[in-house]
Amino acid sequence: MENMSILEENEKLRKKASILHQENLALMSEIQKKFSKPCDLVSITTLNVILSKLNKHE
């Protein structure tokens, strides 16, 4: 019975992680649209590196 509870909680956390990942992608897209000038490419690259590191922890 305890295993079932753990599995259910794990599934809930997976769904939350998936939603957060989708939100991150949407926000990143908005940021890229706002900072589409060549001088802002460094900022976008930095944000991509940060997001990729965050996604590895999911």
- What is the C-alpha to C-alpha distance for residues 22 and 34, in angstroms, rounded to an integer? 19
pTM of the model: 0.58
Both tokens assigned to 1? 């019975």
Mean pLDDT of 40-52: 73
- What is the C-alpha to C-alpha distance for residues 38 and 12, in angstroms, rounded to an integer? 41
Q: What is the pLDDT of residues 10-41, one digit of tens each?
A: 999 999 999 999 998 898 888 877 777 665 56
